[in-house]
Amino acid sequence: MALYNDTVMEHFMNPRNVGEIENPDGKGIYGSPVCGDMMQITLSVDENEVITDAKFKTFGCGSAIASSSMATELIKGMTVEKALEVSNEKIVEELGGLPAVKIHCSMLAEHAIKNAIYDYAQSHGKEYAGLEGYDPDAEHHDDCEEDEEAGCQGCGNGQ
């Protein structure tokens, strides 16, 4: 059986929304504590708080590229509030699944989106449920349990 399904392969071979929005309304970068790979997401948001465009740059593996492609497709047209609810599980589900050892790659997309929305909220004076006390520079130890399930090797911090 092939390791990656057709949807994952298609998004890897033909990734959507690659690049960087000039003068974005929000920009987020996230580095994986598991593998050290990085993802950047830039957003355009209109006056109704709808994400009108999203682009990504990923220094990561094929699963990270497929995850970012799917994630940016998912959040385009969503309100910022809705996009905050897009989890890595949702991204994996839309991709039709990823191998267990690659689930952490989808975490990059979830965190990069959250960081980009945090940046938008900060620069536009907005507040959203789920962003209270959020620190985009934290190593997300509050997610350790989740990351562990997602294949985290353990960073040794916060333990």
Does position 29 bind ligand FES by CB under 6 A? Answer: no
Does position 65 bind ligand FES by CB under 6 A? Answer: no
Is 61 tagged catalytic?
A: no
Is 35 tagged catalytic?
A: yes
Q: Which residue of 17, 32, 44, 68 would you call a contact of ligand FES, by CB under 6 A?
A: 32
Does position 8 bind ligand FES by CB under 6 A? Answer: no
From first CA to last CA, the distance across the chain in angstroms is 38
Using DSSP, state whether 4 is helix, strand or coil: coil
* Residues sharing a CB contact under 8 Å with residue 139, sequence separation 6 or more, in sequence order: 33, 155, 157, 158
Does position 35 bind ligand FES by CB under 6 A? Answer: yes
Shortest Cβ distance from residue 141 to ligand FES (Å)?
Answer: 19
36: exposed, middle or buried (Cβ count in 10 Å: 0-12, 13-18, 19+): exposed
d(CA 138, CA 134): 8
Residues involved in catalysis = 35, 105
Q: Which residues bind ligand FES (CB under 6 A)?
A: 32, 35, 37, 60-61, 63-64, 102, 105, 108
